[in-house]
Amino acid sequence: MSLRVPFGLRESTLYEPNGVPNGKACGCICPSCKRPLVAKQRASTPHFAHAPGEDCAKGFETAVHLAAKQIIAERKEVRLPAVEYRSTLQYAPSKVHTAETLLCLDEVELEVWMGSIRPDIWVRAGDERYLVEIAVTHFVDEVKTSKIREMRIPALEIDLQSFKDNFTFAALEKLLFNAPYTAKWIFNQHIEDMAAEAMQIYELTEHAQEDMFHIGMAEAMQLHELAKQSEEKLAELARPNNAIARKNEESPTAKAEGERSQKFHRYRVLPPTEKLERNIHELGISHAQMKKFSAFIPWGDSFGVPQDVWQSAVLVYIAKNEQRGYLSYEVQFQECLAWMRRAFNVHAPVPDGDSVATWKYLKHLESLGILKYLWNKKFALKIKSRNWPQMFPPTA
Ligand SMILES: [Zn+2]
């Protein structure tokens, strides 16, 4: 603790060491203990000192306090630190409400009691009131902080610890008004609001992340279960005692495939408008609604029909796939493409143009929320076909 006193008091005015005669002739007393001081102008840092042997713990602190208050009161100005929230939370950004500002004051009061606290300075600018604490060696403690927070009056603390090598009013004024500002808010409602908002963002995002994780897990488990089932089915079919049964099934299978082939042929030869009519009827949507599901897709002309015609066919494929039951939630790109190639006379302007177009349209359906990409060119069906008509209601 420095026993040097930066400013001396004479007839209730503060003086700096070089502002009065040197030595005992200075006529100043200690602002804290009120005993006579000696001006030491020839010291490397001019200062005031108590008489030898005298002990005064608070002389330094009290003098800086008083001087800072005097400067603020005389200038009728105070610098307000930037009102900002520095986020330490994931997902929640830092924010600045107002930059550092110089506030012109209408009223300055020193050390008046406000309820159960006595702030160093109380200032008013128009309707705004602020508490200003000056910290030299002692900072605002927890008790005072919580009292200030309860009062909900904006309060700041100016840190003057760096005032130690040049005991002049000019040096102190520089710290208060010109040097990088070592001050912080003890309470500011805007910062509280920004912190609360950040917390909300953090919690919402955290929950969303958790939900995503659980959805991801559920899908993975469902797939695992289905993969196991299909393996079992394959194993069952591979068993030798089923070979005869399989052979007997061959003809009905071949018959079914023949019927399927005919169906595709009948569809393929229809004019585009008729194809579209059938598709939207199948989907239970209007022409206008179909427009909402369609998009311009590069190489879409590979199918030799307008975009909404072949795209409605992709939707029909997904709907039929869903009705099939087994693995109904899964949409396989290759299967869909094979189906499209049977339903249309493909004349791709570039190699695999139909493949690129089908893939891009499935990705477009993902952007609409209908599909979600899983892996290995497979998508999960997120919105069932019976709910598609509600996605774009006819009135909209
Ligand atoms: Zn003293």
- For residue 184, report the distance from its CA to the centre of ligand 1, in Å: 29
Angle at CA 46, nearest 5°, toward 41 and 48? 85
The pLDDT of residue 85 is above 50: yes
Q: What is the mean pLDDT of residues 101-110?
A: 92
Say what the alpha-carbon torsion angle 208, 214, 220, 222 is, to the nearest 10 degrees: -120
- For residue 181, report the distance from its CA to the centre of ligand 1, in Å: 29
State the pLDDT at residue 209: 66
State the pLDDT at residue 224: 67
CA distances from 347 to 120, 274, 275, 351 (A): 85, 20, 17, 9
Q: What is the pLDDT of residues 310-326, one digit of tens each?
A: 999 999 999 988 887 66
CA-to-CA distance for 138 and 132, rounded, in angstroms?
14
CA-to-CA distance for 42 and 387, rounded, in angstroms?
91
Take residue 336 and report the two structure tokens written for it: 């869909």
Domains and CATH numbers, the chain: 8-57 (no CATH), 75-195 (no CATH), 270-396 (1.10.10)
CA-to-CA distance for 73 and 2, rounded, in angstroms?
26
State the pLDDT at residue 200: 79
CB 25 within 8 A of CB 35: no
- For residue 102, report the distance from its CA to the centre of ligand 1, in Å: 34
The pLDDT of residue 89 is above 50: yes
DSSP per-residue codes, 256-284 = HHHHHHHHHHHHHTS-HHHHHHHHHHHHT
- For residue 37, report the distance from its CA to the centre of ligand 1, in Å: 8
Q: Where are the alpha helices (DSSP H) in 294-377?
A: 307-323, 333-343, 353-367
- For residue 394, report the distance from its CA to the centre of ligand 1, in Å: 86
Q: Strands (DSSP E) along the chain, which ranges? A: 8-10, 13-15, 37-40, 47-50, 77-80, 83-85, 95-98, 101-104, 107-110, 121-125, 128-135, 155-159, 183-187, 330-332, 371-373, 378-381
CA-to-CA distance for 128 and 395, rounded, in angstroms?
52
CB 70 within 8 A of CB 56: no
State the pLDDT at residue 336: 93
Strand partners, 101: 80
CA-to-CA distance for 61 and 50, rounded, in angstroms?
14
- For residue 386, report the distance from its CA to the centre of ligand 1, in Å: 87
- For residue 138, report the distance from its CA to the centre of ligand 1, in Å: 17
The pLDDT of residue 1 is above 50: no
Q: What is the CA radius of gyration of the chain?
A: 41
Beta strands at 155-159 and 128-135: parallel, antiparallel or unpaired:
parallel
- For residue 66, report the distance from its CA to the centre of ligand 1, in Å: 14
What percent of the chain is modeled with pLDDT above 90?
A: 52
- For residue 54, report the distance from its CA to the centre of ligand 1, in Å: 8
CA distances from 226 to 173, 318, 326, 327 (A): 76, 19, 9, 7
CA-to-CA distance for 229 and 177, rounded, in angstroms?
76
Q: What is the mean pLDDT of residues 371-376?
A: 84
Q: Which residue has the higher pLDDT, 278 or 234?
A: 278
- For residue 60, report the distance from its CA to the centre of ligand 1, in Å: 8
- For residue 59, report the distance from its CA to the centre of ligand 1, in Å: 4
CA-to-CA distance for 377 and 32, rounded, in angstroms?
81
State the pLDDT at residue 9: 95
- For residue 321, report the distance from its CA to the centre of ligand 1, in Å: 92
Please indicate, yes or no, whether the overall pTM of this predicted structure exceeds 0.85.
Answer: no
Q: What is the mean pLDDT of residues 197-225?
A: 70
Residue 393 CB contacts under 8 Å (≥ 6 apart), including other chains: none
CB 322 within 8 A of CB 370: no
CA-to-CA distance for 39 and 225, rounded, in angstroms?
90
- For residue 4, report the distance from its CA to the centre of ligand 1, in Å: 9
Take residue 201 and report the two structure tokens written for it: 């963002």
- For residue 119, report the distance from its CA to the centre of ligand 1, in Å: 22
Confidence of residue 218 (pLDDT cuts 50, 70, 90): low
Task: Give the number of residues written for the chain.
Answer: 396
Rounded to the nearest 10 degrees, what angle do helices 59-75 and 169-177 cross at? 60
- For residue 77, report the distance from its CA to the centre of ligand 1, in Å: 29
Confidence of residue 52 (pLDDT cuts 50, 70, 90): confident
- For residue 133, report the distance from its CA to the centre of ligand 1, in Å: 22
- For residue 72, report the distance from its CA to the centre of ligand 1, in Å: 23
- For residue 58, report the distance from its CA to the centre of ligand 1, in Å: 6
- For residue 314, report the distance from its CA to the centre of ligand 1, in Å: 91
Q: Which residue has the higher pLDDT, 131 or 395?
A: 131
- For residue 79, report the distance from its CA to the centre of ligand 1, in Å: 30
CA-to-CA distance for 378 and 355, rounded, in angstroms?
14
- For residue 333, report the distance from its CA to the centre of ligand 1, in Å: 87
DSSP 27: -
